[in-house]
Structure 1
Amino acid sequence: MRALLVRDVMTRSVVTVSPDLGYKQIADLLVDMGVSAVPVVGDDRKVIGVVSEADLLHKVEFNGAEVHAGLFERRRSRLAKEKAAGETARDLMTAPAMTIAAGVPLTRAARLMEQHEVKRLPVLDEDGCLIGIVARRDLLRRYLRTDADIQADVVDGVLLGVLWLDPLEVDVTVTDGHVTLRGKVDRRTTAQIAARLTRALDGVVGVTEELEWGFDDTTVQHRYSFDA
């Protein structure tokens, strides 16, 4: 029932460039390899930045324009014009690069991409060296698991492994990643925990919890808390 980690879905063969590679060579590489960005790495395999199509397009945007920033020019525009004058990966790259460790859950990777508005993250090992790259499309792999695999995780991982429930007492059906739980458990909190743990499994799109319970321990907990 282990959650998928970045190392499980990342692309291990990474196209990289050196800091001294020229503009034309970078542009050709992006087109030839069919990628929209490449990490810039040093001889020690440490990531020092990322060059994307957006970085290269600044030269097109400001082609023929004065690249010297005005005194009160906005910082973003000033940086764009500086990149427009750049000729190597070191000049063009966005730095420092937003990276992620290989052992981080996919949920953390998705959160970082959303927060920093990036489409991909270079993946680092324990020594901080580049070992892969994870893109937004890679995060969708957690939803490509079969219904049978998901059902097995619910039964073996949640019901038996965590809650110690008899699988014969809970019917688990999975259709296109949506899990439905039916049957009877001892307590209401048990039903709630079963649904929450199931919802966290890789591949689960949604959960319908239709479990009956013999004892509503939530009201007892609330009363004890109130009396205290």
Structure 2
Amino acid sequence: MARVIGEVMTRDVVEAHRETPFKDVVRLLDQHRISGLPVVDDDDKVIGVISETDLIHHRIVRPVRLAARRFSLSPLRLSTRRAAAVPHTRTAQELMSSPAVTVHPEQRIADAARVMERHGVERLPVVDEEDRLIGIATRRDLLRIFLRTDDEIRREVLGTAVARLPRVSARGVAVSVRDGVVALQGAVEQRTDILLAVRLTYRVDGVAGVVNGLNIRATPGSAGPPSSQAEPGDGHH
């Protein structure tokens, strides 16, 4: 069975609040050796996320732009001394990226990994049905799942994807795995069994790809297995 975020998330979350000062945010990141943290309101609902990138952007880029506007200069022409003289952003609410990209504990790990990739984030706050913070999942947490051995993946494919096929079809399926790519070989009873086997295999954590070598078993008296390309109604009368 595919694993879910609730199984790998960290429940002891380092967090900031709206009014947390810049220096305290930096101190939290350094003390806990993390590269980002969620920001919550007084009801523990996630309102944003702060990353090291956010801190660098607000501590350096934004002051330079503000000072450049003040002195009618381009950022490149503004001296470091003048930039340093401009007041810096001071609270977590001003530093954070918002709205936060979040996930729920029952979401599949593979789906969460796609969310991370799509939004270009390194961590996902995990929230309950009321959007309250209950954990956090990092890219490292998710990668541990995708570093499963080929033997582990093969056993799960056999125990879930193949096992859910009709008994006659399941007996005809052989599974091999190399570098996370699953090869399905053999003959099954129906086209729908092929589609089901491929779909369920893709849902197994750690599967990087599926090579479909399944075909439809020949029936007694037929010249051979029906082509997997044939559609109902094809052929000559």
> Aligning the two structures, in what range does the TM-score lie when normalised by the shorter sequence?
0.7 to 0.9
Deviations 1:189-216 (A, max 9, x none): 5334423432332122233333343233
Equivalent pairs counted in the alignment come to 211
Query: Match of 1:80?
Result: none
Deviation at 1:59, TM superposition (A): 1.7
1:88 and 1:159 map into 2 onto residues whose CA distance is 54
Aligned-residue offset at 1:35: 1.2
The correspondence for 2:175, drawn from 148, 172, 184, is 172
Change (3 A) 1:206 1:62: closer
Structure with larger Rg = 2
4+ residue runs over 6 A deviation: none
2:202 corresponding residue in structure 1: 199
Provide structure 1 residue ranges, at least 5 long, that are not aligned to the other structure: 71-83
Q: What is the 5 A alignment of 1:204-223?
A: 204-213=207-216, 214=218, 215-216=226-227, 218-221=229-232, 223=234
**Residues of 1 paired with 2:51 and 2:146: CA distance?**
28
- Does structure 1 conserve the Cα–Cα contact (< 8 Å) formed by 2:169 and 2:188? no
Give me the whole-angstrom Cα distance separating, in 2, the residues matched to 1:25 and 1:147: 44
- Counterpart in 1 of 2:42? 43
Instruction: Give the structure 2 partner of residue 25 of structure 1.
Output: 24
What is residue 108 of structure 1 aligned with on the other side? 111
Please tell me whether the aligned partners of residues 187 and 217 of structure 1 are also in contact (alpha carbons under 8 angstroms): no
Deviation, structure 1 residue 218: 4.7
**Take 1:116 and 1:205, find their aligned partners in 2: how far apart are those partners?**
20
Larger fraction in helix? 1
5 Å-filtered alignment, 1:132-171, equals 132-165=135-168, 167-171=170-174
Question: In 1, Cα distance between the equivalents of 2:59 and 2:37?
Answer: 18
Aligned to 1:96: 99
| CA distance, structure 2, for counterparts of residue 100 and residue 13 of structure 1 | 16
CA contact (8 A) 2:162 2:170 kept: yes
Q: Quick one: distance in 1 between partners of 2:51 and 2:228?
A: 55
Query: What percentage of aligned pairs have identical amino acids?
Result: 40
Aligned to 2:222: none
Give 1:223 shift: 3.8
Corresponding residue for residue 61 of structure 1: 61
Letter in 1 for 2:30: V
Deviations 1:63-89 (A, max 9, x none): 57645968xxxxxxxxxxxxx732121
- Counterpart of 2:89 (choices 86, 99, 106) is 86
Q: Distance in 1 between matches of 2:106 and 2:36?
A: 23
Q: CA RMSD in A?
A: 2.9
In 2, the alpha carbon distance for the partners of 1:199 and 1:95 equals 33
Gaps of 5+ in 2: 71-86, 219-225
Q: Look up the match of 2:75.
A: none
1:81-123 CA distance string (max 9 Å, x none): xxx7321212222222222222222343233323333222111
